[in-house]
């Protein structure tokens, strides 16, 4: 198996942190305009993890291929240790498997697995969203407009990793209105797994991203208007379609 490396990154201004962290910050956020990304964790491991997750969604880390910690560490300008730590987290999430003395293989998934993920997400999120539609005031839904707009902006730019991140953020913001942290955590993990592409799958088209983002906006407008029949139709259609 080949060992692959991530793509080159564009230079950004230093942040006053350790130089090594700045280099990783640059790589982790290169695929999305700086104003659309915010570093949630300032550790090297956290930034490497973000970069690897984006590479999974974007298809840069290919299912079935083996990647070595030292090679990826060299590309990111860090030691192999934070790369291995990040890859171990991805193994916990089910994205890769650890191969002793070899590296990490990106796991393949099947259409059936993705369909099962979509079904579980629908069973979990649809009833919650319908309950929230009946109980949450319009002002709370108004506050989610920026989250819906972020998905539309990423979709219009054709930014797949950025869209995946914004998509999860929108769903997370909706589910947080239920006041159940465990629900949010489980739903987030399922959503992340559902975003990994199938082996050999064509890159998601910009038009598909735009259509998925439009569903977010339409759903939000129906929630603000408390149009419950439209909310139910949109929620079920959203999960029956792309699973976004």
The chain-wide mean pLDDT, for the chain, equals: 83
Q: Is 123 exposed, middle or buried (0-12, 13-18, 19+ CB in 10 A)?
A: exposed
33-47, 82-96, 151-165: the lowest-pLDDT one: 33-47
Given a contact cutoff of 8 angstroms between Cβ atoms, the answer to whether 168 and 160 are in contact is: no
pLDDT reading at 15 higher than 60 = no
| Predicted pLDDT of residue 241 | 66
pTM comes to: 0.77
What integer pLDDT is reported at residue 242 of this predicted model? 52
Mean pLDDT value across residues 4-30: 39
Nearest to 196 by CA among 117, 88, 87, 97: 117
Q: Is 113 helix (H, G, I), strand (E, B) or coil?
A: helix
pLDDT tens digits along 66-108: 999 999 988 888 889 999 999 999 999 999 999 998 999 999 8
pLDDT of 8 higher than 70: no
Instruction: Tell me the helices (H) and strands (E) count for the chain, helix number first.
Output: 11, 3
Distance CA 53, CA 92 (A): 13
Rounded distance, CA 88 to CA 84, Å? 6
Q: Contact 66/102 with Cβ under 8 angstroms?
A: yes
What is the b/e burial string over 235-244, where b = at least 16 CB atoms within 10 angstroms of the residue's CB?
beebbeeebb
């Amino acid at each position: 198996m080949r060992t692959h490396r991530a793509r080159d990154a564009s230079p950004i201004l230093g942040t006053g942190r350790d130089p090594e962290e700045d280099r990783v910050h640059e790589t982790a956020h290169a695929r999305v305009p700086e104003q659309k990304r915010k570093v949630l964790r300032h550790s090297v491991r956290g930034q490497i993890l973000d970069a690897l997750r984006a590479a999974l969604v974007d298809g840069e880390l290919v299912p079935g291929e083996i990647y070595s910690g030292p090679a990826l560490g060299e590309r990111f300008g860090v030691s192999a240790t934070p790369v291995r730590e990040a890859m171990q987290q991805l193994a916990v999430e089910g994205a890769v498997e650890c191969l002793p003395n070899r590296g990490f293989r990106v796991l393949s998934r099947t259409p059936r697995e993705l369909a099962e993920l979509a079904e579980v997400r629908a069973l979990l999120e649809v009833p919650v969203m319908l309950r929230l539609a009946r109980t949450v005031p319009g002002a709370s839904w108004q506050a989610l407009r920026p989250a819906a707009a972020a998905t539309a902006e990423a979709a219009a730019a054709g930014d797949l990793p950025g869209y995946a991140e914004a998509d999860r953020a929108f769903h997370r913001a909706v589910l947080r209105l239920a006041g159940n942290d465990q629900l949010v955590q489980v739903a987030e993990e399922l959503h992340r797994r559902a975003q990994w592409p199938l082996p050999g799958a064509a890159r998601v088209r910009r038009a598909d991203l735009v259509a998925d983002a439009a569903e977010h906006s339409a759903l939000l407008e129906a929630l603000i208007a408390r149009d419950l029949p439209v909310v139910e139709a949109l929620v079920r259609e959203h999960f029956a379609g792309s699973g976004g």
